[in-house]
Homo-oligomer: A and B are copies of this chain.
Protein backbone atom coordinates (compact mmCIF):
# COMPACT_ATOMS: atom_id res chain seq x y z
CA UNK A 1 0.00 0.00 0.00
CA UNK A 2 2.99 2.32 0.45
CA UNK A 3 3.98 4.37 -2.59
CA UNK A 4 6.44 7.08 -3.55
CA UNK A 5 5.62 10.79 -3.75
CA UNK A 6 7.80 12.74 -6.17
CA UNK A 7 9.09 16.20 -5.27
CA UNK A 8 7.17 17.68 -8.20
CA UNK A 9 3.88 16.49 -6.72
CA UNK A 10 4.35 18.76 -3.69
CA UNK A 11 3.81 22.50 -3.16
CA UNK A 12 5.05 24.18 -0.01
CA UNK A 13 2.67 26.97 0.98
CA UNK A 14 3.87 29.83 3.17
CA UNK A 15 1.72 32.63 4.54
CA UNK A 16 3.82 35.80 4.72
CA UNK A 17 2.51 37.81 7.66
CA UNK A 18 5.80 39.68 7.91
CA UNK A 19 7.72 41.06 4.93
CA UNK A 20 11.17 39.69 5.71
CA UNK A 21 11.31 35.96 5.04
CA UNK A 22 15.11 35.86 4.92
CA UNK A 23 15.84 34.07 8.19
CA UNK A 24 12.92 31.70 7.77
CA UNK A 25 13.86 30.65 4.25
CA UNK A 26 17.61 30.49 4.88
CA UNK A 27 17.05 28.15 7.81
CA UNK A 28 14.77 25.96 5.74
CA UNK A 29 16.88 26.19 2.55
CA UNK A 30 18.41 22.69 2.70
CA UNK A 31 14.91 21.25 3.14
CA UNK A 32 12.72 23.51 0.97
CA UNK A 33 15.04 24.16 -1.96
CA UNK A 34 14.02 21.12 -3.99
CA UNK A 35 10.32 22.04 -3.91
CA UNK A 36 8.15 24.68 -5.50
CA UNK A 37 7.06 27.32 -2.97
CA UNK A 38 3.76 29.19 -3.01
CA UNK A 39 4.12 32.35 -0.93
CA UNK A 40 0.95 34.27 -0.12
CA UNK A 41 1.47 37.85 1.03
CA UNK A 42 -0.99 38.80 3.75
CA UNK A 43 -3.37 41.21 1.94
CA UNK A 44 -2.94 44.08 4.42
CA UNK A 45 0.86 43.85 4.40
CA UNK A 46 2.26 46.85 2.52
CA UNK A 47 6.06 46.47 2.55
CA UNK A 48 7.70 44.44 -0.19
CA UNK A 49 8.53 40.85 0.60
CA UNK A 50 12.18 39.97 1.08
CA UNK A 51 12.82 36.54 -0.35
CA UNK A 52 16.37 35.24 -0.68
CA UNK A 53 17.61 34.03 -4.08
CA UNK A 54 17.57 30.45 -5.19
CA UNK A 55 14.02 29.35 -4.42
CA UNK A 56 11.60 28.19 -7.10
CA UNK A 57 8.62 30.21 -5.93
CA UNK A 58 5.51 32.15 -6.87
CA UNK A 59 4.17 35.05 -4.80
CA UNK A 60 0.46 35.74 -4.62
CA UNK A 61 -0.75 39.13 -3.38
CA UNK A 62 -3.94 41.00 -2.60
CA UNK A 63 -4.54 41.70 -6.29
CA UNK A 64 -4.40 37.97 -7.09
CA UNK A 65 -6.90 37.28 -4.34
CA UNK A 66 -9.23 40.00 -5.66
CA UNK A 67 -8.84 38.76 -9.21
CA UNK A 68 -9.59 35.12 -8.34
CA UNK A 69 -12.23 35.30 -5.65
CA UNK A 70 -13.54 38.80 -6.34
CA UNK A 71 -16.06 40.20 -3.90
CA UNK A 72 -16.31 36.89 -2.09
CA UNK A 73 -17.37 36.78 1.53
CA UNK A 74 -14.33 34.59 2.17
CA UNK A 75 -11.71 36.60 4.02
CA UNK A 76 -8.12 35.63 3.30
CA UNK A 77 -6.53 38.05 5.81
CA UNK A 78 -4.14 37.09 8.60
CA UNK A 79 -3.14 33.45 8.83
CA UNK A 80 -6.06 32.65 6.54
CA UNK A 81 -4.12 33.96 3.54
CA UNK A 82 -2.44 30.55 3.39
CA UNK A 83 -5.73 29.06 2.24
CA UNK A 84 -5.45 31.09 -0.94
CA UNK A 85 -2.20 29.24 -1.57
CA UNK A 86 -3.99 25.93 -1.12
CA UNK A 87 -6.55 27.13 -3.67
CA UNK A 88 -3.87 28.13 -6.17
CA UNK A 89 -1.87 24.93 -5.90
CA UNK A 90 -2.33 22.37 -8.65
CA UNK A 91 -0.15 19.74 -7.00
CA UNK A 92 -1.48 16.59 -5.43
CA UNK A 93 0.10 17.38 -2.04
CA UNK A 94 0.52 20.56 -0.02
CA UNK A 95 2.81 21.10 2.95
CA UNK A 96 2.47 24.28 4.97
CA UNK A 97 4.66 25.59 7.78
CA UNK A 98 4.20 28.88 9.63
CA UNK A 99 6.93 31.47 9.13
CA UNK A 100 7.58 31.74 12.87
CA UNK A 101 8.82 28.15 12.80
CA UNK A 102 12.35 26.94 12.10
CA UNK A 103 13.58 23.38 11.66
CA UNK A 104 13.79 21.48 14.93
CA UNK A 105 17.20 19.96 15.56
CA UNK A 106 18.07 16.43 16.56
CA UNK A 107 20.40 15.48 19.41
CA UNK A 108 23.39 15.94 17.10
CA UNK A 109 22.28 19.49 16.21
CA UNK A 110 21.25 18.65 12.64
CA UNK A 111 17.99 20.11 11.31
CA UNK A 112 15.12 17.63 11.14
CA UNK A 113 13.59 17.39 7.66
CA UNK A 114 9.94 18.06 8.47
CA UNK A 115 8.96 17.94 4.80
CA UNK A 116 10.41 14.45 4.34
CA UNK A 117 8.54 13.28 7.44
CA UNK A 118 5.20 14.70 6.22
CA UNK A 119 5.79 13.02 2.86
CA UNK A 120 6.59 9.75 4.60
CA UNK A 121 3.42 10.04 6.68
CA UNK A 122 1.40 10.54 3.48
CA UNK A 123 3.20 7.76 1.56
CA UNK A 124 2.57 5.04 4.14
CA UNK A 125 -0.86 3.69 5.11
CA UNK A 126 -2.94 4.89 8.03
CA UNK A 127 -4.77 2.54 10.40
CA UNK A 128 -7.89 4.35 11.65
CA UNK A 129 -10.04 1.27 12.34
CA UNK A 130 -7.99 -0.27 15.15
CA UNK A 131 -5.42 1.20 17.52
CA UNK A 132 -1.86 -0.18 17.39
CA UNK A 133 -0.17 0.16 20.78
CA UNK A 134 3.34 0.36 19.26
CA UNK A 135 2.28 3.42 17.23
CA UNK A 136 2.96 3.52 13.47
CA UNK A 137 3.23 -0.12 12.35
CA UNK A 138 4.74 0.90 9.00
CA UNK A 139 7.77 2.51 10.56
CA UNK A 140 11.14 0.78 10.33
CA UNK A 141 11.55 -1.52 13.34
CA UNK A 142 7.85 -1.47 14.28
CA UNK A 143 4.95 -3.75 13.45
CA UNK A 144 1.40 -4.64 14.35
CA UNK A 145 1.18 -6.13 17.85
CA UNK A 146 -0.34 -9.48 18.78
CA UNK A 147 -4.11 -9.26 18.56
CA UNK A 148 -4.23 -6.69 15.77
CA UNK A 149 -6.71 -8.03 13.20
CA UNK A 150 -4.91 -9.33 10.12
CA UNK A 151 -7.71 -8.16 7.85
CA UNK A 152 -6.96 -4.54 8.82
CA UNK A 153 -3.18 -4.67 8.44
CA UNK A 154 -3.12 -3.27 4.90
CA UNK A 155 -4.35 0.02 6.28
CA UNK A 156 -5.84 2.79 4.16
CA UNK A 157 -4.47 5.92 2.50
CA UNK A 158 -3.31 8.79 4.70
CA UNK A 159 -4.66 12.16 3.56
CA UNK A 160 -3.53 14.46 6.37
CA UNK A 161 -0.33 14.68 8.42
CA UNK A 162 -0.46 16.95 11.46
CA UNK A 163 2.94 17.84 12.91
CA UNK A 164 3.89 19.18 16.35
CA UNK A 165 5.99 21.95 17.92
CA UNK A 166 8.97 22.22 20.18
CA UNK A 167 9.54 25.35 22.30
CA UNK A 168 6.29 27.34 21.98
CA UNK A 169 3.41 24.86 21.82
CA UNK A 170 0.11 25.73 20.21
CA UNK A 171 -1.87 26.56 23.35
CA UNK A 172 -4.89 28.88 23.43
CA UNK A 173 -4.80 32.36 24.95
CA UNK A 174 -6.19 31.41 28.40
CA UNK A 175 -3.70 28.55 28.77
CA UNK A 176 -0.80 30.80 27.75
CA UNK A 177 -2.00 33.50 30.11
CA UNK A 178 -2.04 31.00 32.97
CA UNK A 179 1.30 29.40 32.10
CA UNK A 180 3.29 32.13 30.33
CA UNK A 181 6.65 30.41 30.71
CA UNK A 182 5.66 26.89 29.78
CA UNK A 183 7.62 25.50 26.85
CA UNK A 184 7.33 22.14 25.19
CA UNK A 185 10.69 20.39 25.47
CA UNK A 186 9.50 16.81 25.12
CA UNK A 187 10.23 15.14 21.80
CA UNK A 188 7.90 12.17 21.44
CA UNK A 189 9.35 9.94 18.75
CA UNK A 190 6.06 8.69 17.33
CA UNK A 191 3.55 9.01 14.53
CA UNK A 192 0.08 7.60 14.96
CA UNK A 193 -3.22 7.45 13.17
CA UNK A 194 -6.03 9.32 14.90
CA UNK A 195 -8.74 6.63 15.22
CA UNK A 196 -11.98 6.69 13.24
CA UNK A 197 -14.62 8.98 14.76
CA UNK A 198 -12.15 10.51 17.21
CA UNK A 199 -12.09 14.28 16.91
CA UNK A 200 -8.85 16.24 17.23
CA UNK A 201 -7.77 19.87 17.34
CA UNK A 202 -5.86 20.42 14.09
CA UNK A 203 -3.26 23.13 14.19
CA UNK A 204 -2.42 24.68 10.82
CA UNK A 205 1.12 25.56 11.92
CA UNK A 206 2.80 22.46 10.50
CA UNK A 207 0.76 20.23 8.22
CA UNK A 208 0.83 18.21 5.04
CA UNK A 209 -2.20 16.95 3.17
CA UNK A 210 -3.55 15.37 0.01
CA UNK A 211 -4.91 18.47 -1.73
CA UNK A 212 -6.84 16.53 -4.36
CA UNK A 213 -8.87 14.80 -1.66
CA UNK A 214 -8.94 17.23 1.28
CA UNK A 215 -8.37 20.58 -0.42
CA UNK A 216 -12.06 21.55 -0.48
CA UNK A 217 -12.25 21.10 3.31
CA UNK A 218 -9.32 23.43 3.95
CA UNK A 219 -10.73 26.89 3.26
CA UNK A 220 -11.24 29.86 5.62
CA UNK A 221 -14.89 29.03 6.13
CA UNK A 222 -15.09 30.05 9.76
CA UNK A 223 -14.37 33.63 10.85
CA UNK A 224 -15.11 34.87 14.33
CA UNK A 225 -16.56 38.30 14.94
CA UNK A 226 -13.70 40.67 15.73
CA UNK A 227 -11.15 38.02 14.85
CA UNK A 228 -7.52 39.12 14.80
CA UNK A 229 -4.63 37.86 12.75
CA UNK A 230 -2.78 35.75 15.29
CA UNK A 231 -3.35 32.05 15.79
CA UNK A 232 -4.50 32.76 19.33
CA UNK A 233 -7.40 34.78 17.99
CA UNK A 234 -8.50 32.53 15.18
CA UNK A 235 -10.28 29.22 14.92
CA UNK A 236 -10.06 28.71 11.18
CA UNK A 237 -7.62 25.82 11.24
CA UNK A 238 -9.44 24.12 14.11
CA UNK A 239 -12.69 24.24 12.17
CA UNK A 240 -10.97 22.98 9.01
CA UNK A 241 -9.51 20.13 11.03
CA UNK A 242 -12.92 19.02 12.26
CA UNK A 243 -14.24 19.11 8.70
CA UNK A 244 -11.18 17.31 7.33
CA UNK A 245 -11.36 14.61 10.01
CA UNK A 246 -15.07 14.10 9.42
CA UNK A 247 -14.53 13.88 5.66
CA UNK A 248 -11.62 11.46 6.13
CA UNK A 249 -13.71 9.25 8.38
CA UNK A 250 -16.54 9.29 5.87
CA UNK A 251 -14.18 8.34 3.03
CA UNK A 252 -12.55 5.75 5.33
CA UNK A 253 -9.16 7.38 4.89
CA UNK A 254 -6.65 8.26 7.59
CA UNK A 255 -5.26 11.24 9.50
CA UNK A 256 -1.90 11.00 11.27
CA UNK A 257 -0.42 13.10 14.06
CA UNK A 258 2.97 13.23 15.78
CA UNK A 259 6.25 13.70 13.91
CA UNK A 260 7.51 15.98 12.43
CA UNK A 261 8.27 18.61 15.03
CA UNK A 262 9.21 22.17 14.11
CA UNK A 263 10.90 24.69 16.41
CA UNK A 264 8.36 27.41 17.08
CA UNK A 265 9.21 30.87 18.31
CA UNK A 266 6.79 32.97 20.31
CA UNK A 267 3.89 34.41 18.40
CA UNK A 268 1.16 36.64 19.68
CA UNK A 269 0.56 38.14 23.06
CA UNK A 270 -1.84 36.08 25.14
CA UNK A 271 -3.04 39.06 27.17
CA UNK A 272 -3.73 41.10 24.06
CA UNK A 273 -5.70 38.18 22.66
CA UNK A 274 -7.65 37.74 25.87
CA UNK A 275 -8.69 41.38 25.72
CA UNK A 276 -10.50 40.74 22.49
CA UNK A 277 -13.85 39.12 22.51
CA UNK A 278 -12.74 35.49 22.69
CA UNK A 279 -15.50 33.94 20.66
CA UNK A 280 -13.59 30.78 19.96
CA UNK A 281 -14.03 29.36 23.42
CA UNK A 282 -17.79 29.74 23.36
CA UNK A 283 -17.94 28.46 19.82
CA UNK A 284 -15.94 25.32 20.53
CA UNK A 285 -18.35 24.42 23.30
CA UNK A 286 -21.22 24.69 20.84
CA UNK A 287 -19.38 22.80 18.12
CA UNK A 288 -18.46 19.86 20.31
CA UNK A 289 -21.80 18.07 19.90
CA UNK A 290 -20.91 18.03 16.19
CA UNK A 291 -18.40 15.36 17.12
CA UNK A 292 -19.56 13.90 20.43
CA UNK A 293 -21.05 10.48 20.44
Which residues of A approach B to under 8 Å, CB–CB? 129-135, 141-152, 162, 164, 169-172, 175, 179, 182, 184-190, 194-203, 231-232, 235, 237-238, 241, 257, 281, 284-285, 287-288, 291-293
Contact = CB atoms under 8 A, between A and B. Distances in A.
State the oligomeric state as a number of copies: 2
A237 B288 CA distance: 34
Contacts of A130: 198-201, 288, 291
Contact of A201 (B147, B170, B237): B147
Contact of A197 (B150, B231, B237, B293): B293
B129 A143 contact: no
A135 B258 CA distance: 9
Given A175-B143, A189-B186, A196-B293, A133 B257 contact: yes
A201 B133 contact: yes
A131 B199 contact: yes
10 contacts: A133-B200, A133-B257, A134-B164, A134-B169, A141-B185, A141-B186, A147-B172, A147-B202, A148-B172, A189-B189
Contacts of A285: 149-151
A203 B142 contact: no
Residue in A143, A145, A190 whose Cβ sees the most chain B Cβ within 10 Å: A145
A198 B201 contact: no
B196 A170 contact: no
B196 A145 contact: no
Contacts of A237: 147
Max chain B Cβ within 10 angstroms of own Cβ: one of A130, A196, A198: A198
A134 B164 CA distance: 8
Contacts of A288: 130, 149, 151-152
Given A145-B203, A203-B133, A284 B150 contact: yes
A144, A148, A231, A237 — which one has the most chain B CB atoms within 10 A of its CB? A148
